[in-house]
Amino acid sequence: MDESKPAVACNVCLKEIPRSVAKSEEGSDRVYYFCGDTCYQEWLATPDVREVSLAVGGLPLEFEVGQELAKAAARSLDKEATLIAWYDRKQGKESPQRYECHENKPGWLAYAEGHGGNFKVDINQGEYIFVFVTQS
């Protein structure tokens, strides 16, 4: 990816794309990015997932630290929040490991949504993503 054109992650399929070509939507607290109209339309159709974005700078962020930050965010909403899926872009890892895509989404994300995942914590625009089930 060209360093002069900062990359962003599509909020639906997580594909990394240049910011200059991404479709975007201003939210109340952040800008959402999409690789194309298909992902944008899918995002519009799934309003039930609450999303929190965290930006961490000034120090290297390891997975374990990101996970603890995500848990703290989820548990501020629901003390019984349960982590059901995660994605680590730096390491190229995910859980659960579902290698097939479903309706233009990575398998781990489709799994989370299909199993009640309703609270997503996105750290550093897709560097780490954690999905929880909450009662709130």
Q: What is the pLDDT of residue 122?
A: 93
pLDDT digits (tens, 9 = 90+) for 55-87: 999 988 999 999 999 999 999 989 999 999 999
Cβ neighbours of residue 92 closer than 8 Å, sequence gap 6 or more: none
Which residue, 123, 121, 125, 124, is CA-closest to 49?
121
- State the pLDDT at residue 97: 86
Q: For each of the domains in the chain, give its residue range(s) and CATH number, in order of start.
A: 1-45 (no CATH), 48-136 (3.30.1490.340)
Residue 113 CB partners (closer than 8 Å, separation 6+): 46, 49, 105, 131
